[in-house]
Structure 1
């Protein structure tokens, strides 16, 4: 079994570029202002990288075409879930460490 890309993007051209412009362009509403506030306070290096990584993940969620459906299912309690033990078991079966 191989990993499948979800909702567009490739490793060379992700749906949301890992840049300040890419992230800010993908964020919804007031989240963009929150991103810039954290970005302006971060020091260059690991702290800035952490802000960019965290907000890139949020931007990816904001641009997910299934975002509203998934959120509604989560709120309704109908979103399929799994345990961490099940995730680890699947990884072991695929030979992941």
Structure 2
């Protein structure tokens, strides 16, 4: 099994920049409006950081090239699963290489 990314994604440059512009550019329609509503209500500091982090994660999921395939597999019950121990082992091997 290979630990290489399927899409040739570079980990030093995320698909969605962790900026207000990057996040809003990746979101569409009502999701973008909801992001801006939460952003405008957040106070500078931890609250604003939480809004940005939460919505960055949603934007990354929204822009995943395999999003539809993964969603269909999850609903069909055919999505591969693994244990947390295996995830940790894979990450340790990746870091060591």
**Cα shift at 1:79:** 0.4
- Structure (1/2) with the larger helix percentage: 2
TM-score (norm 1): 0.78
- RMSD (CA atoms): 2.5
**Cα shift at 1:49:** 0.5
Question: In terms of mean alpha carbon deviation, does 59-68 or 78-87 score higher?
Answer: 78-87
TM-score (norm 2): 0.78
Structural mapping, 1:1-97, within 5 Å: 4-5=4-5, 7=7, 8-11=9-12, 13-88=13-88, 90=90, 94=93
Residues of 2 paired with 1:23 and 1:6: CA distance?
Answer: 23
Q: Structure 1 stretches of 5 or more lacking a match?
A: none
Residues of 2 paired with 1:91 and 1:4: CA distance?
Answer: 11
Q: Structure 2 stretches of 5 or more lacking a match?
A: none
